[in-house]
Amino acid sequence: MLFTLLLSLFFQDLPDGPGKADLLKVCQDCHDTDTIISDNRTKEAWKKTIAKMADRGAEGTDEQYDAIIAYLTKNFGRVNVNKATAEEIASGIGFSAEEADKIVKYREKNGNFKDWRGLKSAIDGAKVEAKKDHIAVQ
């Protein structure tokens, strides 16, 4: 009981939002906050991770798993800018709709980005630098 209470205190630092309660309920007995947020992943990678946890015995419903994936993707996710739509880039990374549109147009004209730094050719470099942990280019 004390262990669960201590873990709950660690998880209080997580951003509020839909899916947080499900994350706490399903994941906190096995993972601390650092384990969860140490590696930003794409939505597909979060899906694979949650599937592995379910295979290893994590107990949750499909609805809980979907909520956890959405929560993790929103708060600790990466967006593959070589495949995402402008809307996905804007909502997933936090760029404006105009910036996301510029990224997609640049990609369509010049080909896929090789790394996150390549986005500096499409939009303000300082904004790219600030969001680099949420950008994937697979």
The whole-model pTM stands at: 0.71
Q: What mean pLDDT do residues 30-58 have?
A: 85
> Quick check: 2 pLDDT over 70?
no
Other CB atoms within 10 Å distance of the CB of residue 37: 14
Percent of the chain with pLDDT over 90: 62
* Per-residue burial over 75-91, b = 16 or more CB atoms within 10 Å of its CB, e = otherwise: bbbbbbbeebebebbbb
> Tens of pLDDT along 55-83?
999 999 999 999 999 899 888 889 999 99
Residue 137: pLDDT band (50, 70, 90) is very high
How far apart CA 14 and CA 3 sit, in angstroms, is 18
Containing H/E element for 42? strand 41-42
How far apart CA 2 and CA 88 sit, in angstroms, is 40
